[in-house]
Structure 1
Amino acid sequence: MTPAHRHRTGPMGVAVVGCGTISDQYLTNLTAFPDLRVLVCADLDPERARSQAEAYGVPAWGGVARGLADPDVELVVNLTVPAAHAEVGRAAVEAGKHVWNEKPLTADTAGAASCSKRPRPRACGSAGRRTPSWAPVCRARCGWCAPVRSACR
């Protein structure tokens, strides 16, 4: 986590990476929370990213690099296909972002092992088990937290 993320106030900046079908449900919910501000829709298909950004009032769109490069983005919501989860998640962590990953965490055990060798964000999680498709991320006195934070320790 970069030092700039520790003392931010106001809504948390979000990049949604992967603008396929599931992104409608996520964007509907993410744009409704007053403590979140979706800043970027990113996808391998620029037209799909643009379309989702326009549909949900998101100010910017582009490729994955666009979402990771935005200094106001603190959380990357990774909705890519399972085969890309590990790569996108690692890139987000390396860019100093928190990560919410759609299930599964990775497509195979090799991908999971490679993730475990990287520094992990203080707040991370993966949808699954009995968690809802959107688990609110909150600010706490101790730093960022998520409902599945204990799974990241």
Structure 2
Amino acid sequence: MSAITDFHVRAADGSDVNLSAYAGKVLLIVNTASKCGFTPQYEGLEALHRRYAARGFEVLGFPCNQFGHQEPGDAAEIASFCSLTYDVTFPLFAKIDVNGDGTDPLYAELKRQAPGLLGSKAIKWNFTKFLVDRTGKVVARYAPTTKPEEIAADIEKLL
């Protein structure tokens, strides 16, 4: 089993990001979309980020356009929308695929470590969330319907 912090991902500007930069932190990794019924969860995600950042917590957002084409914009449009609409300050990375042949390796590992209901590996929709402990191991997977504030107690246990 690989630690999530062993992976490299692309930043919104296309540069390489080694997730080892987040080693020792508690992470909430989320596939996001700007035109989804769950998009208002950005507000709750940002609230968690601000509440716990000083204690070693980070939200990492990965825009994805695989569900109803609800993330059609480019990186600059996504960043602008998130900043202006929800005052998002947590990192947003390059748009990725979370299912199918083009699944980003990070998401392949997240799904391997924390399968969904009945062992399903597929991400069902935008705003599926993975909670990662300080060692880089996935400890929980949350459905898109799980509001960020409902995860606070689980985050507290890991901090």
TM range (shorter): 0.3 to 0.5
Task: Tell me the TM-score normalised to structure 2 length.
Answer: 0.41
Q: Which has the higher contact order (CA 8 A, sep 6+)?
A: 2
Q: TM-score, normalised by structure 1?
A: 0.43
